Chain A
Amino acid sequence: MIRLDALTRVYATPQGPVTAVDGVSFEVGAGETCVLLGPSGCGKTTTLRMINRLVRPTSGKVFIAGRDTDAVDPVELRRGIGYVIQQIGLFPNMTVAENIGVVPRLLGWNAGRRRRRAEELLALLALEPARFLDRYPNELSGGQAQRVGVARALAVDPPVLLMDEPFAALDPVNREAVQDEFLRMQRTLRKTILFVSHDIDEAVKMADRIAIFRAGRLVQFATPDTMLAHPADAFVAGFVGSDRTLKRLRLIRVRDVMVPLAAGEVPAGGPALAPDDDLRRAAALFLELGSEALRCEDAGGRVVGCVTRAAVAARLGARDGGGMDAQGIAARRGDEGGAA
């Protein structure tokens, strides 16, 4: 869906040329979320801004749906790409409805259609349309404003979203909530998303793929599980942190390590896991109860299998990255189709 080919940006400075982005190539499939991750000044934002031509590449190409973006008028290109920034950038002179209607208006939608679309999107983002449509941005909380920012980016239903640290300005509690909502929405919308972040936890949570940058170069491009299991070098290992195994636990579902239950193996009673829980819960229970195996029950309370410490350890030690990545993506998207 989005392909970057040797994308490079060099800035002329009084101290001589500085290469902000150096020959970055990768491809993000339709419906995938790719997080561009790295410390500040690593070129991730510049890379993002070259995709909608807010920054002109010095060399290299960007293809969106196979089309060379060089050949498209930048203004037209941007109207077809959702864009969300950290400062949100809601226009304070416009109401929520007018903010969401900016791109539709540029595309010539009439007032009625713009307002209906704004209502639809607010409802999608769990903001009551009747209460919020005619508010001004200064009458919104941070979390509400960020939701409106996302709604505005989705206004004309663009297939691609570019998000530059969209949730960085929110407090941790709000950030979690907005992230969860965004993930839930993305499961139905299936946008192709490029998402800049400096927060490894956010990346692990949101990403199908992570592109990790250092000093303008792409260091590793992999699924979150692969990146945590097999960091490409010491820099990546340092960035993802020494607790990377713990971080991996959230990526793996109980159903992926569940084995059929042999009678008498696991004691009845006590807490049970659900197949859709992630392994953080399993790990917590193992530590809490000191048990070797945990019972797995479906929503109806029927025992469907068990999880053993050995199975979890085997899963975390597994070496064949590719196979489980596809599995992981499929599980996170809640469908059986696998990676597109």
Chain B
Amino acid sequence: MNAIAGPGRSAVPHLVLGGIAAAVAWGLYASGLGADILRYQKDIVYLLKQHLVLVGISGSCAIAAGVGTGIWLSRPWMARWAEGAIQAVNMVTSIPTLAKLALMMTLLGIGALPAIVGLWLATLLPIIRNTYEGLRAVPAHLVDAARGMGMGPAEILRRVELPNALFVIFAGVRTAMAVNVGTAPIAFLIGGGGLGELIFTGIDLQEHGMMLAGAIPTALLAVAVDFLFGQAQYWLVPRGVNPLRNS
């Protein structure tokens, strides 16, 4: 019964956003800006593809590397260095993303590669931190029970630690992806392409149509990605440890 009420509830904010978007769309159409924006349809499609490549590659690499690093730091033999490493991670997180991209440009030149690496770095850190903290928060007695029942370290990680940390890990991934999608337009500034091209050029030329042609798809993409990860979090985290599903 919960399972039916739950996703409906979690989808509500997205439905509200959808409604607002529809209202805005109507406003744009009525004011004539809509036609302005649609002039850029071809550019939108082309740049959206670039944008998705930036987000997709940097995001998926960040999830893989972040979860992996978080797991590695949480292992007992890393205990001595883990806290230091997490402090370092926190420090890097505090560097503004624009500065990160600029630093990447100095190291790797311009183009898609430094943009992807910069986005990857910005996205990586919350995932590492949440994976590590989530795994550390798994009660010691659960691990003790698992060992006492004859699970090996790999089984304990896969069947006890990760499932119990998954909600927190997903929270990290959601935050990270929001940062990723939100930062991706800036990639244009170091030659990474993407929808930022329309936004920044639109701003420079004071072309509201062009600017919105970049901004609206970027906004919709952010909402869609968050919705997607929210749903994944809702359905993939086991019900017994999912605060969204057992209130």
A87 within 8 A of partner (CB):
yes
A213 within 8 A of partner (CB):
no
Whether B240 pairs with A94 at a CB distance below 8 angstroms is yes
A239 within 8 A of partner (CB):
no
The number of inter-chain residue pairs (CB within 8 angstroms) is: 75
Interchain CB contact (< 8 A) of A92 among B147, B152, B159, B240: B240
Chain A residue nearest to B242 (CB atoms) is A93
Whether B160 pairs with A91 at a CB distance below 8 angstroms is yes
Whether B148 pairs with A85 at a CB distance below 8 angstroms is yes
Whether B238 pairs with A93 at a CB distance below 8 angstroms is yes
Whether B149 pairs with A94 at a CB distance below 8 angstroms is no
A286 within 8 A of partner (CB):
no
Chain A residue nearest to B147 (CB atoms) is A54
Quick one: which of B152, B240, B241, B246 has the most chain A CB within 10 A? Answer: B240
Whether A94 pairs with B238 at a CB distance below 8 angstroms is yes
Supposing A54-B144, A106-B155 touch, asked if A93 and B150 sit within 8 A by C-beta, the answer is no
Tell me the B109-162 residues at the A interface (CB within 8 Å): 139, 141-142, 144-152, 155, 159-160
Which stretch (A59-67, A73-81, A248-256) binds chain B? A73-81
Chain A residue nearest to B152 (CB atoms) is A75
- Min CB distance B75 to A, Å, is 18
| Chain B residues with CB below 8 A from A79, complex form | 149-150
A195 within 8 A of partner (CB):
no
Contact string against A for B residues 164-196, beta-carbon threshold 8 Å, 1 for contact and 0 otherwise: 101000000000000000000000000000000
State in angstroms the CA–CA spacing of A138 and B242 once bound together: 11
Whether B239 pairs with A78 at a CB distance below 8 angstroms is no
Supposing A75-B152, A106-B151 touch, asked if A89 and B164 sit within 8 A by C-beta, the answer is no
A206 within 8 A of partner (CB):
no
| Chain B residues with CB below 8 A from A92, complex form | 142, 164, 240-241
Quick one: which of A52, A136, A162 has the most chain B CB within 10 A? Answer: A136
Whether A83 pairs with B149 at a CB distance below 8 angstroms is yes
Contact string against B for A residues 136-166, beta-carbon threshold 8 Å, 1 for contact and 0 otherwise: 1111000000000000100000000010000
Tell me the B202-247 residues at the A interface (CB within 8 Å): 238-241, 246
Supposing A54-B144, A85-B144, A138-B246 touch, asked if A95 and B150 sit within 8 A by C-beta, the answer is no
Chain B residue nearest to A83 (CB atoms) is B148
| Chain B residues with CB below 8 A from A89, complex form | 141-142, 144-146
| Chain B residues with CB below 8 A from A52, complex form | 148
| Chain A residues with CB below 8 A from B159, complex form | 91, 102
| Chain B residues with CB below 8 A from A95, complex form | 240
State in angstroms the CA–CA spacing of A52 and B142 once bound together: 16
- Min CB distance A90 to B, Å, is 8
Chain A residue nearest to B238 (CB atoms) is A93
Whether A91 pairs with B164 at a CB distance below 8 angstroms is yes
| Chain A residues with CB below 8 A from B166, complex form | 93
State in angstroms the CA–CA spacing of A316 and B54 once bound together: 85
A20 within 8 A of partner (CB):
no
* Chain A residue total in the interface (Cβ 8 A): 28
A200 within 8 A of partner (CB):
no
Supposing A76-B150, A78-B147, A78-B150 touch, asked if A137 and B240 sit within 8 A by C-beta, the answer is yes
| Chain B residues with CB below 8 A from A90, complex form | 145
Quick one: which of A92, A102, A137, A138 has the most chain B CB within 10 A? Answer: A92
Contact string against B for A residues 95-116, beta-carbon threshold 8 Å, 1 for contact and 0 otherwise: 1000000110010000000000
Tell me the B2-42 residues at the A interface (CB within 8 Å): none
Tell me the A120-137 residues at the B interface (CB within 8 Å): 136-137
- Min CB distance B158 to A, Å, is 11
State in angstroms the CA–CA spacing of A85 and B142 once bound together: 10
| Chain B residues with CB below 8 A from A94, complex form | 163, 238, 240
| Chain A residues with CB below 8 A from B164, complex form | 91-93
- Min CB distance B153 to A, Å, is 10
| Chain B residues with CB below 8 A from A102, complex form | 146, 149, 151, 159
- Min CB distance A4 to B, Å, is 18
Whether A85 pairs with B150 at a CB distance below 8 angstroms is no
State in angstroms the CA–CA spacing of A52 and B160 once bound together: 20
20 additional A-B residue pairs with CB within 8 Å, beyond A79-B150, A93-B163: A77-B150, A78-B147, A78-B148, A85-B144, A87-B139, A89-B141, A89-B142, A89-B146, A91-B146, A91-B159, A91-B163, A92-B240, A95-B240, A102-B146, A103-B149, A103-B150, A106-B149, A106-B150, A106-B151, A136-B246
15 A-B contacts (beta carbon < 8 Å): A78-B149, A83-B148, A85-B145, A87-B139, A87-B141, A91-B145, A91-B159, A91-B160, A91-B164, A92-B164, A93-B164, A93-B238, A106-B151, A106-B155, A136-B240
Taking Cβ atoms with an 8 Å cutoff, the residues of B that contact A are: 139, 141-142, 144-152, 155, 159-160, 163-164, 166, 238-241, 246
